[in-house]
Structure 1
Amino acid sequence: MIPTMPGAALDVLLSPPILFFGLGAAIALAGARIPFPEGFGKALAAYLLVAIGLKGGVALAGTAAGEVLPLLMTAALLSFAMPVLAFALLRGPVGIDRVNAAAVAAHYGSVSLVTFVTAAEVLNSQGIGFGGHMVAALAIMEGPAIVAGLLLSGAVGAAATVGVAAGAGGGTVAVVGAGAGAGAGDVGLWRGAVREAAFNGSVLLLAGALLVGLVIGKPGLDRLSGLFVAPWDGVLSLFLLEMGYLATARLREAMTLNARILAFGIGMPLLGCVIGLAAARGLGLGLGETALLATLCASASYIAVPAALRHALPAADPGLSLPLCLGVTFPFNILLGIPLYLTLARLTAG
């Protein structure tokens, strides 16, 4: 029997990590501060990256490459294609300028580690299994959206145009965000985009931990369980405590955005969920994998993409994308989206 949405939502809302998320939000609303030392949240994030990478690698160890390749290729394609859809909505119905539309679209083509981890915890709490290849899909979906965002912004084409003009005049003109002269043009911007996408610290840490887990297997993880398995729930709860605080702070900024942009912050995750469910159906994924792929497609990056675009697309306004992703989409996914995506996955999964 398929559980009703209210029951599933209540299970999620009453889980310890989500309750701590609410506690962080309450502290922010009270105007107080969480007495964490500086950098504590970053340390917790690094721990989560390593822990989930190790677990994913161990789970992936017994899987043939041919079984996971279609999923990984689909994940990369989704990450590149979804910014195009988001860009069309932002330029059309929402009505923002090209550069900021491209930047926001890149955020919504990439993924949120914390949203993924929270969804995985919900699945674990309900005894729903999923393959370690979903962690590999998470890592792959970080990068292509950044490149898509740069293409949509017109920055690459502009760099080429400037390069041609500078070459004709015999001078040198700097390419904004590429860190190269105009003679480099597209090459410099592409190199910068690919470097930011592929060598982002979070992506490398996750991918490296995945590889370590693949090598050490279950016996190796058992020896590390005291650090990376047993404390998982507690560390996740502390991290979501801080994320609840930060999301609420960003929500105040988001309230200054117009109604169409705020509607996009809720509507795009729902649209992404539908796309993820359709892709999972086509791949024949099981319940856990379907729910996680839908969650990935519904999430938005507020760590990797902002860091990359700060260098590659400096004309974009982070005061638009960050409050929208972190203040609107992230809490929506954590509190309402994940139970909804799981319920829909139960209806559509093979």
Structure 2
Amino acid sequence: MDFNLLLENLTNPALLYFILGIVAVCLKSDLEIPQNSSKFISLYLLFAIGFKGGQELSHETINSEILMAMFFGISIAIIIPLYTFFILKRKLNIYDAGAIAASYGSISAVTFVTAVSYLESQQLELHGYMVAIMALMESPAIIVGLVLISIFNKEQSNKINKAEIIRHSFTNGSVLLIIGSLIIGYLTSAKDAQGIAPFTNDLFKGFLAIFLLDMGITSGKKLKSFFSNGWFPMAFAFVIPLINGSAFAWLSGFITTDTSNRFIFAILAASASYIAVPAAMKITVPKANPGLFLPMALAITFPVNITIGMPLYFFIVQNC
């Protein structure tokens, strides 16, 4: 592995602002991002990456390679929650096992956004259709996780409404916004897109840094209760993403030879959702503990991916 890449990632401003957020909580600072501002920044990031992806997609010709890549992405979102659920339920209750499995099968849009910046630092560009694949990977993992809970749940009164699961997984705000922005970006002419380029491109990294500061503050506040759950969730949140990312970085070589695409597949496989899945679980599985699966995804898996993970996956796709 090129350790210069690792060092470069460790000094990335976005990561340093994430660490600053955790430090602020440890120092009992009153630093915080107003809730409305935080929500706006989240929406902005999803809007910008979706729109830019749509613009890139408009220049692509849909062919068998792209369709195969879409199938591969959906397969990742189904396989990961299936196998992780059976690992998790050995140590955790059915509700928490299903919620965590869904989180790790789904994707983190912010990790994806950070990965796009990483690609740019390597003078590589994201292919637009990978944004569509990212959006397609949100829902299958949620559905698989919740169906597994329903199958193994012995309490008949807590059976899950599967129709509601499917509806919510497609109408979830983050999924809807990124798919909608992708379509709008696809339909928008290059001339019209240029008119909003300062907003979608120039401000992007600054907003990402502020968002990660907010994520650091949120993570810091949940760490104490998370550590009370013992070693297993911590070990899982650290090891499983690296296994998933490395495995699918290698397997993606059978689907495409493009370095950018393979790296993004690895990131999508390694990341864990802390927006769409928690929202779905809050509605459909209130017995699942957000104080467990949120810190796992946000306080451990996310920083592991953007420090150790990205250089590791990039090394694998370049050499395997």
- TM class by smaller structure: over 0.9
Aligned mate of 2:69, from 55, 68, 71: 71
Counterpart of 1:150 in structure 2 is: 146
Q: Aligned equivalents of 2:217 and 2:4: distance in 1? A: 26
The answer (yes or no) to whether the contact 2:272–2:297 under 8 Å persists in 1 is: yes
1:127 aligns with 2:123: yes
Counterpart of 2:289 in structure 1 is: 317
Q: Aligned equivalents of 2:171 and 2:139: distance in 1? A: 9
Equivalent residues in 2 for 1:1-350, closer than 5 Å: 4-66=1-63, 67-92=65-90, 95-154=91-150, 176=158, 178=160, 189-348=161-320
The answer (yes or no) to whether the contact 2:138–2:169 under 8 Å persists in 1 is: yes
1:76 is aligned with what amino acid?
I
Aligned length: 319
2:301 is aligned with what amino acid?
T
The answer (yes or no) to whether the contact 1:156–1:190 under 8 Å persists in 2 is: no
- TM-score relative to the length of structure 2: 0.94
Q: 1:10 to 1:70 in 2, by over 3 A?
A: same
What is the CA deviation profile of residues 74-125 of structure 1, one whole-angstrom value per residue up to 9, with x for unaligned ones?
1112111210111121124xx2122221111111100111111111101112
What is the CA deviation profile of residues 226-283 of structure 1, one whole-angstrom value per residue up to 9, with x for unaligned ones?
2111111111111111112222223333222211221111111012113321331111
Q: CA deviation at 1:158?
A: 6.3
Q: After the TM superposition, which parts of structure 1 deviate over 6 Å for at least 4 consecutive aligned residues?
A: 156-159
The answer (yes or no) to whether the contact 2:94–2:153 under 8 Å persists in 1 is: no
The answer (yes or no) to whether the contact 1:176–1:312 under 8 Å persists in 2 is: no
The answer (yes or no) to whether the contact 1:111–1:296 under 8 Å persists in 2 is: yes
Comparing 117-126 with 202-211, which one deviates more in the overlay? Answer: 117-126
Q: 1:234 to 1:177 in 2, by over 3 A?
A: farther
Aligned-residue identity in percent: 33
Q: Aligned equivalents of 2:129 and 2:158: distance in 1? A: 37
Q: CA deviation at 1:155?
A: 5.1
Comparing 103-112 with 26-35, which one deviates more in the overlay? Answer: 26-35
Q: 1:328 to 1:214 in 2, by over 3 A?
A: same
The answer (yes or no) to whether the contact 1:247–1:331 under 8 Å persists in 2 is: no
Q: CA deviation at 1:142?
A: 0.6
> Higher Cα Rg: structure 1 or 2?
1
The answer (yes or no) to whether the contact 1:250–1:326 under 8 Å persists in 2 is: no
Q: CA deviation at 1:31?
A: 1.2
Q: CA deviation at 1:177?
A: 7.0
The answer (yes or no) to whether the contact 2:216–2:299 under 8 Å persists in 1 is: no
Q: CA deviation at 1:22?
A: 2.2
2:283 is aligned with what amino acid?
H
Q: Aligned equivalents of 1:157 and 1:143: distance in 2? A: 21
Q: Aligned equivalents of 1:157 and 1:146: distance in 2? A: 16
Q: Aligned equivalents of 1:76 and 1:128: distance in 2? A: 24
The answer (yes or no) to whether the contact 1:20–1:238 under 8 Å persists in 2 is: yes
Q: CA deviation at 1:222?
A: 1.0
Q: Aligned equivalents of 1:151 and 1:275: distance in 2? A: 25
What is the CA deviation profile of residues 10-37 of structure 1, one whole-angstrom value per residue up to 9, with x for unaligned ones?
1112222122222222212211132432
Q: Aligned equivalents of 2:15 and 2:125: distance in 1? A: 20
2:250 is aligned with what amino acid?
A
> Which consecutive unaligned segments of at least 5 residues does structure 2 have?
none
Q: Aligned equivalents of 2:75 and 2:67: distance in 1? A: 12
1:126 is aligned with what amino acid?
Q
Q: Aligned equivalents of 1:279 and 1:128: distance in 2? A: 21
Comparing 252-261 with 37-46, which one deviates more in the overlay? Answer: 252-261
Comparing 280-289 with 252-261, which one deviates more in the overlay? Answer: 252-261
